[in-house]
Amino acid sequence: MERAVRAFFYDYKYYLFPETCPTLADVKASRVLTAKRLKEERCMAPAFIFESIEEETVTIEDPDRVFPAEVDLYSAEEYDAILGRHVRRVCPGCVRYTEDGTSSLKGHHREMSLDGVCYERVQENDLWSFSECADYFWYVVSQKLGALASYIDKGDRKGLNKALNAELTNFMPGLDFYGAIVDGKYTVCIHSCPNQSAVFTYLCGALAETANAESSPLHLAGWQVLPYLPEGVFADGGRKLPAMTVVSSHNPNCCQIRVLHPKGDRLSERKKDALVARAWEYLCRTFGERTAMAAADDISVAQGKEGMPVSEIGRLLREKAAAIASDGVAAFPAMFDYAVDAEAAGEMFPYKDKSTDGITGCPELSFLSPESLRAGAAWWEMFVGYAYLYVPRPMFGAENAFAALGWYFGNSALIPEPLRDPEERRISVANVGVINCGDEGFIQEFMVFDEKRLFRMLRILAPVLKEYRAKLVVVKAEGVMSYECGYDFVPVGGYIET
C-alpha cells in the first residue's frame, strides 16, 4: 500500500507524474508525454490498485484541464478486502443487492468507493427520481411502437396523444405531442404551451434526451424525440389565423406577440387562452419552436383588428433569434440576461449575495429566494430539484475556471468505462443558468433530475472542484444545505431551515 501519492487528473483520467515531468507546471507545458495511467478498473478514485496501472501516451490539448490529485495505491487483494467489508455492511437492504452466498464483488467496484459510500443504493420505499420515471416511460412506449407508427402514418394526433399521455400522466401532467417522419425517422415532437413554465420546458428536454440516448429502446428502433416543433414539418391545418402584431419587450433580445381581437379587453379568459394557443401553435409550426421561444418572451391578447403580415412577424422572430443564437442555432430552452441588485433583493441563498448579473433559462429556479420558498414557490419540487455550484474566483482566472468546468460538464460521455456505464440512459441535471459574482466568483445552476447521480457526477470531478474550492448548495422546500466539494461532501455552514 502507498498513501498520498502525487498524481494529476486530465480529461477524466488519472496519471502518475513521469520522471520527465515531475511537477504540474511541467505537465501543463508538455504537448505529449508518457505516463502511468491509474485506470478505474476494479477500483474507484482516489484509491487505485497496482494491477490496473498501465503506461499511456497523453496528449495535453488544453493545460487548463490539468488538475493535481492525491491518490492511494493498493494491491487488488488489499482493495477487495476493504471493499468487501463495506459491501457486507452497507449493501443489505438495497433492492439492487442479491446475497448469493459468495464473496464476489462484481459490479461493486464501479458503484462503491473505498470509503463505503454508494450513490446507487436504492431502498424499497425510495421514490423514483424524474430520470428513472422518464427512462421507464420510454421503455413502456417502446413496446407500442407499431401502434404509434400507425397513428403517425394516418395523421391521427389525437390517438398519438392519448396513447402517450396514458403512460406519461403516471408521473407528470400530460403534454402535447406531434408525430411525423423527419429525416427518414419516425419522430415524436413535444409542443410547449404558450407562456408555459420554463420548468416544464426543461422536463420536455429531459424526456427527449432520455429517449435519444444510444442505448434507448426508441433510438435502437430508429425513432427520435424532439422537445420542440421543427420548422415547416407540420402543416397548419387551414384554420383561420388570428391577427397578430409584434411589440417591443423590456428584454432587447426579445419581442412580444399580441394576438388581436376587436373585443380583446372583454373576452373571457378561456377565449383568450384559445386565441393565444392557436397563434402560438401557428408560429411554432411555421417558423420553428426554437425560433419562437428564443425570440418571443410573451404572447397575449390585445384590443385590435389589423395585424402585421405573417411574413413580417416571421422575419422579426428570426432576426431576434439569430442575434442570440450559438453557431446559428437558437438555444433551447431560450436563455436571457438579467441584472441583480443585491441590496434591494433582500434575503438570499448562500453565496448569491455576491451576485451582480446572470443568464438563465429557468427564472422559477434562478429567481427563487428564501422568502418565496417559504411561501410555497417550490411547486416544481414534486418533479425536479434545484442545486448550484459556487466557484470562488480570487485564486484563478475566471475564464479558465468557467471554460474548464464547462468542458467537463459537457463531455461526461468521455468518462472511461466501467466507471461510466455505456447502457446508462438516465440523466442527472440540466444547466439552467450562470450567475456572475464579480470579483468573487461565479455560480453554475442546475435543475436536478436525479440527486444521487448529481453527487456521483460531482465526485467524479473531485480533483477539479477541490482545486477550485467549489461549494455545492442544494435547495429544497424544507431547507438549504451547503457542501465542500471533493470525494466526500463535507457540510459547511450548517443546515438552513426555510
**How far is 437 from 391, CA to CA, in rounded Å?**
9
- For the cut 90, the answer to whether the pLDDT of residue 232 exceeds it is no
Helix (H) or strand (E) holding 68: strand 66-74
Q: How far apart are CA 424 and CA 428, in angstroms?
A: 11
Q: Are 385 and 365 in contact (CB under 8 A)?
A: no
Average the pLDDT over 321-344 and give the result: 79
> Can you give the pLDDT at residue 394?
59
Question: pLDDT digit string (tens) for 395-452?
Answer: 555 568 888 999 999 999 999 999 998 888 889 999 999 999 988 899 999 999 999 9
Range of weakest confidence among 94-103, 179-188, 213-222: 94-103
Q: Are 463 and 485 in contact (CB under 8 A)?
A: no
Residues 6+ apart with CB under 8 A from 308: 244, 245, 246
| Burial track 35-67 (b if 16+ CB lie within 10 A, e otherwise) | bebbbbbbbbbbbbbeebbeeeebebeebebbb
- Amino acid 3: pLDDT: 95
Distance between CA atoms of residues 5 and 53, nearest Å: 14
Q: Rounded to 5 degrees, what angle do the CA atoms 483, 427, 11 make?
A: 70
Do 351 and 443 meet the contact criterion of CB atoms below 8 Å apart? yes
Mean pLDDT (whole number) for 233-248: 83
Give 166-216 pLDDT, tens digit per residue.
999 999 999 999 999 999 999 999 999 888 899 999 999 999 999 999 999
Beta-ladder partners of 15: 8, 37
Q: Say which amino acid occupies 217.
A: P
pLDDT digits (tens, 9 = 90+) for 39-49: 999 999 999 99
Instruction: Report how far residue 63's alpha carbon sits from residue 146's, in angstroms, rounded to the nearest whole number.
Output: 51
Distance separating alpha carbons of residues 415 and 191, to the nearest angstrom: 33
pLDDT, position 398: 52
Q: What pLDDT is stored for residue 84 in this prediction?
A: 93
Query: Average pLDDT for residues 273-289, to the nearest whole number?
Result: 93
Q: How far is CA 450 from CA 94, 160, 398, 422, in A?
A: 17, 28, 29, 18
Q: Taking the CA atoms of the chain, what radius of gyration do you get in angstroms?
A: 25
Beta bridge partners of 338: 358
CA separation, residue 345 to residues 199, 305, 353 (Å): 23, 41, 9
Q: What is the structure's pLDDT at 264?
A: 86
Residue whose C-alpha is closest to residue 152's, from 124, 183, 186:
186
Q: Counting Cβ atoms within 10 Å, is residue 11 exposed (0-12), middle (13-18) or buried (19+)?
A: middle
Instruction: Please check whether residue 114 is in contact with residue 40, taking contact to mean a CB–CB distance below 8 angstroms.
Output: no
Q: Where are the alpha helices (DSSP H) in 47-110?
A: 76-90
Q: What is the dihedral of CA 25, 28, 33, 35, to 10 degrees?
A: 70
CB contact at 8 A, 259 and 279 = yes
The owner of cell 405573417 is 310
Distance CA 273, CA 279 (A): 10
Q: Give pLDDT tens digits for 353-371.
A: 989 999 999 999 999 999 9
Q: Is the Cα torsion angle 145, 132, 381, 284 positive or negative in sign?
A: negative
Kindly state the percentage of the chain with pLDDT values over 90.
Answer: 75
pLDDT band at 124 (very low <50, low <70, confident <90, very high): confident
* Residue-averaged pLDDT of the chain: 91
Give the residue with greater pLDDT, 495 vs 447.
447
Residues paired with 74 in a beta bridge: 49
470 alpha carbon, distance to own chain's centre: 19
Give the Cα separation of 85 and 81 in Å (integer).
Answer: 7
Distance CA 354, CA 473 (A): 15
Name the more confident of 95 and 326: 95
CA-based max dimension of the chain: 82
pLDDT score at 198: 92
Q: How does residue 125 score in pLDDT terms, banded at 50, 70 and 90?
A: confident
The per-residue DSSP string of 256-319 comes to: EEEEEETTTTTS-HHHHHHHHHHHHHHHHHHH-HHHHHHHEEEEEEEE-S----HHHHHHHHHH
Which residues, at least 6 apart from 322, have a Cβ–Cβ distance to it below 8 Å? 328, 330
8 A C-beta contact, residue 374 and residue 498: yes
Mean pLDDT of 81-109: 85
Question: Hey, is 485 helix, strand or coil?
Answer: coil
Q: Which three cell numbers stand for residue 230?
A: 421543427
